[in-house]
Structure formats: structure tokens, C-alpha cells
A and B are shown apart, each in its own frame.
Chain A
């Protein structure tokens, strides 16, 4: 038997979703607008999208680009951020470059990238890569900067070289912060994935969405929004499980330290 507080915590997100859908339903019925289908109509359209082979191929292609863009970004950004956090010279070199890229909406770069690389996978993956990189670099940087000097000294006394300290001390010590950046990056990957497909209309989940919009199939549009939203929730939940496992040692789950000198 679950204690009531656990039950409430588990039920809360479900209730929130049902509440939102109910609100949608009422609003759509009240407005009676063709371009605003009811929640039930939108949900009814979901099975036909997911049952369509073409649509599934598109969605899987989107997810594949997103996974590659995200993976490469994380792979490149973590070492870069960590080095920036531990070396003033590296930080001074990369900081202005990143500050220039940071405020530019990554989708705004797409037309240019499309001219160079075409409308295919590479362009879209590159945009996702750019979107994910910055938060991961930033959080890795902050994490590495905060690593206690004395912890590194302790490692040095044990015989760890500078490179070994980077991999075996700075990296694990910064991991909670790095994963916070990756979580933000994951959401941004989803956003840039859809926007990139909105601009380079060729395939993908975003393409289905905007094609349906062009053709006035509003129930499909809203069904796709629900699908993308669900993908976001699902990916985030999955990531959160992995993250919680990796940084169990830093979570304040034992609030009261054991009293014993």
C-alpha cells in the first residue's frame, strides 16, 4: 500500500495533464473555431499518424538527427567546458566566441547553413548540435570552475597527472552540473529539431506538422503537437532516471547526517 503522500505525488502530473486537456476541450467548444479542434478530436488523430508508415519513418528520422546532434554536442562540449573551467587562457579564448553565438537563434543560421550544406540531414543535425552545445559548455564550465582546489591537490599527492586529474577528478566532481546542462540541452535539441524541419521542409516530425497546417488539417497539427510534447516528457523522464543514477552520491536524499564524531 502506497502512503498517501506518494500517491498524491504520482497522481499530480496525471491530474495536471487531464486538467489541461479538459481546459482545452472547453475552450475549443466555446470558441467554435475551425483552426482550433477540440482535445478529443486531436487525440483521435494520433493513432492515424502513428499508424502511418510514412509518418513513423519521418518521426524516426527526426529522432535520429536529434540523437546524433545531441550526442556529438555533448561529446565535444563537455571537454571544452571543463578545460575552460580549469584554464583561464582557454576560457579567455573561447568565451568571446561563445558570447557571439549564444544570443543568435540557431534557426536563424539555417538559411545560411542550407546554402552551404543543402537541406539534408547534415544541416539539421548541425543546427541541433549548435543548440545543444552552449548550455552543456556553460554548465560544464561552471562545474569545473567550482571544483575544490584541495580535492585536486589530494589527487596530485596520490600521483595523478594534470590530465588524469581532469578525467578522474574534475569530470566526476562536475558531473551533477554537467548533467543539468545536458538536461537543458535535451529540451533544446527537441526544439531545434522541430524548428529546423520547419525551415528545411523535407522530412521529419516538424514537416508533418507544417504540411498539415498548410493543408488545413488542424486535428493533425494539434495531434503532432501532443506527440512532440509527449516525446519531450518521455525523453526528459528517461534522462532524469539516468541522471539520478549517475549522481546519487550528490543528491541530498539523506538530509540528516549521521551523528558520530
Chain B
């Protein structure tokens, strides 16, 4: 049907996670090991999903790469340098959108580039193009409260893309959306991603979503959070949902991954 793996570039690593562990203190003053000895290398330009049940520490791992949380053990590195805090080279997109409610759509999207010192007119022009790309042309002067959840997440994506991070960190970005909206956003995200192939680290608990979007799926198990297995998804790109759902290779990935989760006694903890 299509040439497998044809689109893969010779890879160089951009993010290295080395023996990262994370211990939280619970309210009962007991230590809870959220992550245990995680090592993972992410290649430049790859779309990598971290898949696992809730409570497996997958979001924590993303926050560590973002520099929002410091690991209690090990280190995460970006291009060989240990990550010590947040920076514009790693752009987050959160499930909660986290837009600035006092800014319009345009104001939100221009915020990052303006902060990075881009001139007002340049930031404006670039942001308008991005807003059009995410399908929100005409909504530039709207405030976040006037938008639906799907629209807010489109704005959040545009806002992050606006300051040109090298890595996109997406934390269950479509988790708060209804099924129909989620599907549309998945399709649009793939279309946008296929233009410039930015490195994406994508946290999700949906097997379909992970397989549909990713080059690589990192399966995690919980208590403590560990990497179970890393699976390469060899499906042709550009991916079209209507073709993919009928593709036995896609179906096999989904079924295999679901079976692996089921085997490990975690039935029902995934939603």
C-alpha cells in the first residue's frame, strides 16, 4: 500500500532522560514513588507518545522534561544539557489549556514572541497566520471565555507554536474534549505536525490516539511508574484516519498494546 518507514530521517537524539526517578511526599507524609529509573531517548523530529494508566507518572515525566518539576533522581537533558528549568525551547500544551483569560486570542498568541523580543508588527503578522492555520481565522479578538474547549486548545497550540519551541510537550491535550472534537483536533494536529516535523512528546491514556499519532509509543506501568515497553509504530505517513482505521497493521498495534496492558492486571484503571 505505501512505502513503510520512507519518511524517517537519520535520527539524532534531542532529549535524553537518564535514570529519572521522582518521589513525592503524600499528605500522610509517606513517600510515594511516582517514577522509578526511567531512561528514554527521544529523537529529533519524532512524534513520541507516553501511554499509560492514570497515576503512572506520565505527566510528571513530561513536566520534568519541561523543567517545571525537578526529578529527585537522575537527570533529563535537552541537546546534551541538563534541564534546570522551563525555557522557550520546550513548549507545553496542557489539558487545562491554561490560556491567559485577560488576553484576546491574538493577545495570547503574540505573548510568547513579544516576550522573546519580536517586534509588535512581526509578532502580529506571524500570529494571525498561526491562528488561521489552527482554523480560528475571524476569532482574533475573542476572549478565551467566549470559546469552546476545542477552540481554546487550538489557541493554546497556536500560542505555543508561536515562540518556535524545538520540542512540543503535550500533556493529554485532548483529554478534556468530547470524542468528536478530539478526533478533529487529532487530525488537525497531524496535518500541522507533518508540515515541519517538530519533535513532539505527547502524553495520553488513549491507545488509539497514541497509535494514530505516533512514531513511537512508550508504554508505562504504574506504582512505581516504569517503562514497560517502547513500540515503534511503522505506519505510513501522511496518515489519514479513514484509511488507517481499516488498516490491519493499525488494528494490530491497537489490539497488541491493549492486550499488553490487560495482561498486567490494570484492567479498568485506564479510561
Residues of A within 8 A of B (CB): 148, 150-151, 153-154, 156-160, 169, 172-173, 175, 247-250, 252, 254, 257-261
Contacts of B103 in A (CB 8 A): 249
- Distance in Å: Cβ of B214 to nearest Cβ of chain A: 22
When the two chains form their complex, are residues A254 and B146 in contact, meaning their CB atoms are under 8 A apart? yes
Chain B residues positioned under 8 Å from A250 (CB to CB): 101-102, 145
Residues in B neighbouring A172, C-beta threshold 8 A: 100, 102
Residue pair B180, A261 in contact (C-beta under 8 Å): yes
CA distance A169 to B87 in the complex (A): 17
5 A-B residue contacts at CB 8 Å? A150-B94, A151-B98, A157-B90, A158-B88, A173-B101
Given A150-B96, A154-B92, A158-B111, are A260 and B101 neighbors across the interface (CB < 8 Å)?
Answer: no
Closest Cβ of chain A: how far from B249's Cβ, in Å? Answer: 28
- Contact A156 to B101, CB < 8 A, known contacts A148-B96, A257-B147, A258-B148: no
Question: Would you call A156 and B148 a contact (CB within 8 A)?
Answer: no
| Interface of chain B residues 120 through 139 with chain A (CB within 8 A) | none
Give Cα distance in the complex from A150 to B102, angstroms: 15
- B residues lining the A interface (CB < 8 Å): 66-68, 85-88, 90-92, 94, 96, 98-103, 111-112, 115-116, 142-148, 150-151, 159-160, 163, 165, 177, 180-181, 184-185
CB neighbours (8 Å) of A252 from chain B are 145
Asked whether B100 lies within 8 Å of A260 as measured between CB atoms, the reply is no
> Are B148 and A157 interface neighbours, CB within 8 A?
no
Chain B residues lying within 8 Å of A254, measured Cβ to Cβ, are 145-146
| Inter-chain contacts of A257 with B (CB < 8 A) | 145-148
Pick from B68, B94, B102: contact of A156, CB under 8 Å: B68
Other CB < 8 Å A-B pairs besides A153-B98, A159-B87, A160-B115, 16 of them? A157-B66, A157-B87, A157-B91, A157-B160, A158-B116, A172-B100, A173-B100, A173-B101, A250-B102, A254-B145, A254-B146, A257-B146, A258-B146, A258-B148, A261-B151, A261-B185
Closest 7 CB pairs of A and B: A261-B150, A150-B98, A156-B86, A261-B181, A158-B112, A150-B94, A172-B102
A248 and B165 CA atoms in complex are apart in Å by 32
* Nearest chain A CB to B77 CB, angstrom units: 17
- Among A158, A175, A249, point to the contact of B163 (Cβ < 8 A): A158
Which A residues touch B145, using CB under 8 A?
249-250, 252, 254, 257
Q: Which of A157, A249, A250 has the most CB of B within 10 A?
A: A157
Known: A252-B145, A254-B145, A258-B146. A154 touches B151 (CB 8 A): no
Q: Are A159 and B185 in contact, with the CB atoms below 8 A?
A: no
Contact between B181 and A151 (Cβ–Cβ < 8 Å)?
Answer: no
Q: Are B88 and A157 in contact (CB under 8 A)?
A: yes
Rounded to whole angstroms, the CA-CA distance of A172 and B144 in the bound complex is 14
How far is the CB of A175 from the nearest CB of chain B, in Å? 7
Q: Is the CB of A151 within 8 A of B146?
A: no
Cβ contacts under 8 Å, B143 to chain A: 248-249
Nearest chain-B residue to A250 (Cβ)?
A: B101
Q: A251 → chain B, closest Cβ, in Å?
A: 8
How far apart are A16's CB and chain B's nearest CB, in angstroms? Answer: 32
Inter-chain CA distance A172–B37, complex, in Å, is 40
Q: Do residues B146 and A159 form an inter-chain contact, with CB atoms below 8 A?
A: no
Q: A249-B145, A250-B102, A261-B151 are in contact. Are A157 and B92 (CB under 8 A)?
A: yes
CB–CB A175/B102 < 8 A: yes
B146/A156 in contact, CB under 8 A: no
Closest chain A CB from B103 CB (angstroms)? 8
A173 to B102, CA, bound (A): 7
Q: Do the beta carbons of A156 and B163 come within 8 Å of each other?
A: no
Q: How far is the CA of A82 from the CA of B43 in the complex (A)?
A: 42
Q: Which residues of B contact A157 (CB under 8 A)?
A: 66, 86-88, 90-92, 160, 165
Are A259 and B102 CB-contacts (below 8 A) given A157-B91, A158-B116, A159-B115?
no
Cα–Cα distance between A169 and B94 once the two chains are bound (Å): 17
Compute how far the CA of A175 lies from the CA of B66 in the bound complex, rounded to whole angstroms.
28
Complex partner residue of B68 from A153, A247, A260, A261, CB under 8 angstroms: A153
Residues in A with CB closer than 8 Å to B101 are: 173, 249-250
